[in-house]
Amino acid sequence: MKKFILSGVLLIGSMLAVKAQDVKFGVKGGLNLSKLTSTNGSKVLAGFNAGALVNFKLDNNWAIQPEVQYSTQGTKVKNDILWGAVTTEGTMKLDYINVPVLAQYHIIDEFYLEGGPQIGFLTSAKAKSGGVSVDVKDNMKTVDFGLNFGFGYKFDMGLGIGARYNFGLTNVYDSDKINRKNSVAQIDLFYIF
C-alpha cells in the first residue's frame, strides 16, 4: 500500500513538473503544538517539524506544493486517581515522516491560502511517565492520513512564515477499542531558493 501511494505521489509530481510554469525548491521548519483527540486529561505537547518542499507554480494564482517533513507529535496526559488524591502525568510522543501535498491559492503574490491531504509514516512511538519510557510502536498504526489547512506570507527575498492545522482522519492506535487521532497546529519559517 505504501509503495502504491508513494508511486501515485511521484506520478502526480512528475505531471505537475511538466505543466508548471515555475518550479522552486525550499526548506522549512518550525513549532508543532499537538494533541491526540478524545483523550481525557490530555494537554498540548510542544514539538518541532523540519523538511523540504517543491513549489510548482501553475499560474498567477495557483500552485501545488508537495513536502517531506520530519514531525514530532503526540500529547501530554494528566490523570487524577483516587478522586484527585493522586495525580499521574506522562507523555505520548509520536514521530512521523509526513508527506503533505497542498494546493495554494495566492490572493496576492505574497499571501496565500493552502489545503490538501497528508500521509504520515510513523518512525517512533514512546509513552513516558514517572521517568520510565516504553516503546509502544507495536501498538500503533504505521500510516496516518490527515488534512491540512493554512495560510502563509512570502517576502520578496524568499523567506516566509506560515501557519497550518493538520487534523488526522485515521486512528493512531492499532486497536478498535481506543480511537485517537492526531491534531497538530504548526507555525513555520520557510525559505524558497
State the number of CA atoms in the 13 A half-sphere of 45 facing the CB. Answer: 28
Residues 83-102 pLDDT 10s:
455 567 889 999 999 999 99
Mean pLDDT of 125-142: 91
- CB-based contact 94:182 (threshold 8 Å): yes
Higher pLDDT, 61 or 131: 61
Residues 6-52 pLDDT 10s:
555 555 655 555 555 689 999 999 999 999 987 677 889 999 999 99
C-alpha 100/C-alpha 147 separation (Å) is 8
Return the closest-CA partner of residue 173 out of 125, 130, 134: 125
Residue appearing with cell numbers 518541532? 48
- CB-based contact 90:77 (threshold 8 Å): yes
- Confidence at residue 21, expressed as pLDDT on a 0 to 100 scale: 64
Domains in the chain with CATH codes: 2-192 (2.40.160.20)
Give me 27's grid cell.
526548506
- CB-based contact 99:70 (threshold 8 Å): no
State which amino acid sits at residue 114. E
